[in-house]
Structure 1
Amino acid sequence: MRWIHAAGRGLLVLAVVLTGYVASGAPAGGAHGTGRGPLTLATAGDLTGYLGPLLDGWNRTHPGEKVTLVELPDSADETHAQMTTDLRDGDRGRFDVLNIDVAWTSEFAAAGWISPLPRTRFPLDSFLPPVVDTATYDGELYAVPYVTNAGLLLYRKDVLAKEGVPPPRTWAELEEQAKTLAPKYGLDGYAGQFLPYEGLTVNAAEAVYSAGGTILGDEGERVTVNSEAAREGIGFLARGVREGWIPKKALSYKEEESKQAFQDGHLLFLRNWPYAYVSASGKDSAVAGKIGAVPLPGPDGPGASVLGGSNLAVNSHAGHPDSAARLLAYLTGERAQRQVLTKGALPPVRASLYDDPELIRRFPYLPTLRESVLAAAPRPKSPHYDQVSLVVQAVVRDAMTGHETPAAAVRRLARELAAVSHR
């Protein structure tokens, strides 16, 4: 869930440990407790410190349903491990409501760990449309979108202005400027998040999607990656390392390392989440006032980002269902969503905030981010997403390091994903 930071730190992961919810939204009673009561909310690192004050607002007005904040590890893998271990216990456990990474919704729903939610109880029509799809599985709503995200191409607008060229809209333009302009100014060309972890899965999926391909279909039951589009997308990344406009050091970059390289003035182009724009615009940044942001490029024009962010879901064995539903509604309300952006630097799911002139003045990338979110797609949906991601990371890593051709990598990817989907 570092993909929010996704903008707090790669993605703020909020695992809300609340006591309860049922599909109807009515008080549950019975074996798992009453409808309302105290709540516990766990997060994988509130690095901007916005969440405590936001929850203070809830606690002041809901004295019988106070939320206790608990922090899980900052690592997405460790957070996932703690959540799944707790959920597998089969009883109420520690985690009643979870703010899960958007890629985990299918896994948690298919396992029966989280309950379906009534669409009518939440303002889904007020959200950016693509984010709702990340919260569904098999046609049902299993979570409520809380924070969204989409990758952007950050660039040195001072360098491009001196050269009299616009920011790249295609891969060819990106490659040309990364190869020719970057060395002229003593810069590396382009970087993303290429260490073998979730970030590499995201970067690889974006390359495949931008070329018009897909990885999985039918909720993970069908493997669709064996295509010319996938070969083109993975080939784009592999070619960058081979030709040098993606520096080899970028093979060790996660969100923070890549952001720091750009912020310290070492990169011409960077694929990252919007938080990197905010950080690189700060007073301690070597490139403050010198950066711009555009949608990710693709083969023939703007490409496609992968949706980041997190969704609020409720443990199937939760104890205080009505309080859970009320808190979910509170956290996705307009006022709280505004604080998610202004205090947490995280992209909200409420569409109206992207058109707010005051917010656009403070966060100039908002119109570009809105455009990117609307054109974005979820990561491959699968009940075995954690295994899917590991396969993508390993195979794409071998292609980028030259151990396998893009064509061979795609064939291997199809075989290994088929083995995962049939488990």
Structure 2
Amino acid sequence: MIFSFGVTSHIVEAQFSLAQIPPLENKQPLTLVAEKGFWTDYLQQQLLPKFTAQTQVPVKVISLSLDDMYQRQTQSLLAGEGQFDLLTMEAGWAKEWASNGYTVPLNELAQLYDPLGEQSIDHYLEPYYASLLNILSYRNQIHAIPYNNYVMGNHYRADLFEHPQEKAAFKARFDYALAPPIDMQQLLDVSEFFTRQAGEKLAGKKLTAPFYGVALMAGNRPHINDEFSAILWSLEGNWLKPHYEAQALTLFTIAANNPPLAQAAGIYRKLRTFAYPTDANFAFEQAANAIAQGHVAMWPFAYNNLWHASYAVEANVEGAKLNVAQVPGGKPYNGAYAFAVAYDSKNPRAAYWLLKYMGSYQAQYDYALGGGNPCRADVVLSTQLAKPEHRSINGAFTASHKANIAWAKNINQQGHFTSSAMGRIYPELTTACYNLANPNNDIDTQVQLLQQRILEIQNHYGEVPAIVK
């Protein structure tokens, strides 16, 4: 089932406020997992004190890194410890946790605890992007509310792309106009073109240090997988392909040789020769800093929720102007962090109302003002946030909106977003991509190793089988 919730046709400000929370008899404290960083600070300083003041229900925050979040929560859920009332998930884990019964469907919670029942939650979700709700759904039921959307965009130095000398030099060399790349060959061309040594000129000025065409998240961290995914999907490839009968998922196939993945690996290796130097720990923070400090011409697979970080280049580099385009190939990695109520919550009624409050229009609006990338179209398209003085936070909103709308129709075609074993497969993809990016490793061997691991994990932990074809 593909959820639409009206976002593509009209925007409904489905407002929700603390005043709508009914009296809660159970005052037992809630425990909430949140990712370390700005969102945790925002919760503790802004949202949660207001919730507690309204309901007299205290909320404790367990702040974890993404690397620890999956294992820590999964272990607790498997044991039924009731340790966490509200879970934080990366969207790729949603179907795995739902299929194991770890998360409670939102419509079930609404039937139990909301005076208006399912109608209330349906209306509440109307402004959310269908692409995100589809990822977070399981068997036609939505299990989580997203709060941080990290759809990708190309953050690029518009001042360099628009410089007359650079435009003329590029046209003379490649015989087409310099612009943000729309496919993989253009990405390689533009990356090579902007890679310069100290002493060479860039936009008419002599460089005092090397300059690079791209920033890549090429470390042994989960984010290299997201870059590989964007490239692979643009080549019409996949990690595993879902098959349906009467709209029911019945099978996954894994390509025997996977030529698109081998091609993606070759492209990534070439890109690394034009990329800002990385190490095993290099990920999104370092990539954002590379463009913010003026070391690269573009971050082609940037998370748009880091626009605010990339935008610092305009303050750090004289004359710099940052802009955003769709990722090369037009198939960005998409996803979100989301909250869900745990099946073993000791106070599920209060957890449900806190969940709705954290995803409310005002909460998402305030989150956007802090530099986050919202998951609600009514916030993204807010006329107040669209004001020029907010460009440091809204600069990628339009690009994110277009990417989310485009993804809504395609989510169910990607095994990455439909497998109930993706929480276990995802780390294997990270390891495989890091190995594939290493020019010392044989690409075909690494592809075969990954194929075998996906096959084993899907058939052991997934709900439907996988075969090599």
* Corresponding residue number in structure 2 for 1:419: 456
Name the count of aligned residue pairs. 382
2: CA distance between counterparts of 1:246 and 1:104? 30
1: CA distance between counterparts of 2:225 and 2:418? 13
* Corresponding residue number in structure 2 for 1:173: 186
List per-residue Cα deviations over 1:54-98 (Å, max 9, x = no partner).
2223223223x33x242323x212122221222222132x20111
Cα pair distance change 1:79/1:170, threshold 3 Å: same
2:294 pairs with 243, 265, 268, which one?
A: 265
Shift of 1:284: 5.5
What CA RMSD, in Å, does the superposition of the two structures yield over aligned residues? Answer: 2.7
In 2, are the aligned partners of 1:392 and 1:413 still within 8 Å (CA)?
yes
* Corresponding residue number in structure 1 for 2:222: 198
| Unaligned stretches of 5+ residues in structure 1 | 1-25, 28-32
User: Does 1:400 pair with 2:437?
Assistant: yes
In 2, are the aligned partners of 1:194 and 1:253 still within 8 Å (CA)?
yes
Shift of 1:35: 6.2
2: CA distance between counterparts of 1:264 and 1:53? 31
Larger radius of gyration: 2
Q: Which has the higher contact order (CA 8 A, sep 6+)?
A: 1
- Using structure 2 for the length normalisation, give the TM-score: 0.74
2: CA distance between counterparts of 1:224 and 1:373? 26
Question: Which residue identity is paired with 1:112?
Answer: G
Question: Which residue identity is paired with 2:79?
Answer: D
2: CA distance between counterparts of 1:389 and 1:220? 21
* Corresponding residue number in structure 2 for 1:60: 53
2: CA distance between counterparts of 1:112 and 1:287? 54
| Unaligned stretches of 5+ residues in structure 2 | 1-21, 108-117, 168-177, 203-209, 243-248, 461-469
1:105 pairs with 94, 101, 104, which one?
A: 94
Cα pair distance change 1:34/1:421, threshold 3 Å: farther
* Percent identity over paired residues: 18
In 2, are the aligned partners of 1:114 and 1:314 still within 8 Å (CA)?
yes
1: CA distance between counterparts of 2:306 and 2:435? 27
Question: Which residue identity is paired with 2:179?
Answer: P
2: CA distance between counterparts of 1:384 and 1:339? 34
* Corresponding residue number in structure 2 for 1:214: 238
2: CA distance between counterparts of 1:228 and 1:36? 57
Cα pair distance change 1:112/1:338, threshold 3 Å: same
* Aligned residue runs from structure 1 range 14-413, under 5 A: 37-47=28-38, 49-51=41-43, 52-63=45-56, 65-66=57-58, 68-73=59-64, 75-92=65-82, 94-118=83-107, 120-122=119-121, 123-162=124-163, 163-164=166-167, 165-183=178-196, 185=202, 186-218=210-242, 222-226=252-256, 227-241=258-272, 244-249=273-278, 252-270=281-299, 271-282=301-312, 285-286=316-317, 289-298=320-329, 303-343=330-370, 345-361=371-387, 362=390, 363-376=394-407, 377=411, 379-413=416-450
2: CA distance between counterparts of 1:121 and 1:233? 44
Shift of 1:120: 4.2
2: CA distance between counterparts of 1:418 and 1:403? 25
Shift of 1:406: 4.1
* Corresponding residue number in structure 2 for 1:14: none
Secondary structure of the residue aligned to 2:339 is: strand
